[in-house]
Amino acid sequence: MSLRASSRVPVPRAPLSLSAASPSRSLMRATPSRTGHDGLIPAHGGRGLTKALVDPDEVADAARWASSLRRVPITSRENGDLVMMGIGGFSPLTRFMGKEDWQSVCEKMLMADGTFWPVPITLSADSAPARRGEQIALEHRGEVVGVVEAEDCWEMGAAQRALECENVFRTTDPEHPGVRAVLNQRRFNIGGSVRVLSEGEFPTRYAGIYMRPEESRRKFAERGWRTIAALQLRNPMHRSHEYLAKIAIEVCDGVFIHSLVGNLKPGDIPADVRVRCIDALVKNYFPPENVMQGGYPLDMRYAGPREALLHALFRQNYGCTHMIVGRDHAGVGNYYGIFDSQYIFDNIPTPEDPAKRLLCQPLKIDWTFYCKKCDGPASLRTCPHTKFDRVVVSGTMVRKMLSDGMELPDHFGRPEVIDILREYYKGLTNKVEIKLGHAATMN
């Protein structure tokens, strides 16, 4: 669906100045800020960190202006994507994708200009914009958090939803949480440039953990790190995570334990509990000069291999040269093969322009566990013993056993972490059934 052109009240094309009587054009046309050379891996896309966040001293004027616009409520996932565009986490993207980008990303993992991108970043709405160029306020939990200038709009019919689900999630099963989100999204997708007015609760609720790419890059540079491995976490940090991180520390300057602080599916453990577990583990079992903890504002999509690529892409923007990829990265249930998220890195498009390629590399590590005969952590590549000698450790298994009131076997997790989790589960009044997939059981 194309947007019809319409006459608009002309506004001055002046430098960004939200104190002007009509700030809308300068707000939407603001040039994204970029980082200078910091000696680290370049941000994705070759233009530095591109950020759509309005300057702090201009937010009040921008918010007053945005309050006069038509409002569209956005989902938690869309809000996380918006914040990432605001802080430069999705560089070079500062817009919700139009139809051409959306389709190309779904089918080819490339934006229309040839930039590598594995997962569509879209905004849904119940109704189409009134005209091309309409500026729409984006509302989340009662707060206007941004503005989009509508440049494209198309209807997400059954065929379009199936195309996205088949390509991104490899299934159209509505039981898959990512598929369910696409099937339940609103009728239209709106593409266009954004300006971000608020990062929401992330900077305050997760103070000391929530981190912007420019902050992580500055801290890496201050420590003299040049090779940095990111450890993606959506579960409490258990013995296998600890082992993966320590392998990475041996071959990189440092490890960035990077936790998701957005929304998860029911039954997963909330971010504040996970952060306490990481704090306990890092304090007691890691040399502090070799590890750093941070948080990022996205929801999980559970897109398995495609999401692993997205995780690597924005870790590049955060300054990481590598990302640890273990078993069933970003998976759910039995929708993906155990190591599909590793294999996909060998089968991605390579744009002609090197700046448009994915530069962050996977650190592929086999299935890890605690082996009683080896008397320590091991993997399928290093341990010759049978599954009966192994204590299989997974976040899902930990959640399942604690939720069901079961005792955890020795070496399942560090005692400091297990104590925090037991306290959390003891306080739950409503429990969600946790299903074990093949990645959690080694079957």
Catalytically active residues, by annotation: 234-235
Which tokens in the block code for residue 44? 């994705």
What is the dihedral angle through the alpha carbons of 95, 98, 101, 106, rounded to the nearest 10 degrees?
Answer: 110
Question: 329: helix, coil or strand?
Answer: coil
Cβ-in-10-Å burial (0-12, 13-18, 19+) of 250 comes to exposed
Cβ-in-10-Å burial (0-12, 13-18, 19+) of 23 comes to buried
CB 53 within 8 A of CB 27: no
Question: 183: helix, coil or strand?
Answer: helix
Alpha carbon distances (Å) from 181 to 184, 185, 335? 5, 6, 16
* Beta bridge partners of residue 72, listed in sequence order: 138
Exposure string for 32-56, b = 16+ CB within 10 A, e = fewer: beebeebebbbbbbeebbbbbbbee
Which tokens in the block code for residue 284? 């007691």
What is the dihedral angle through the alpha carbons of 171, 175, 180, 184, rounded to the nearest 10 degrees?
Answer: 130
Cβ-in-10-Å burial (0-12, 13-18, 19+) of 61 comes to middle
CB 153 within 8 A of CB 126: no
* Beta bridge partners of residue 376, listed in sequence order: 371
Beta pairing class for 390-391 and 368-371: antiparallel
Residue with tokens 């004027």: 61
Distance CA 39, CA 22 (A): 40
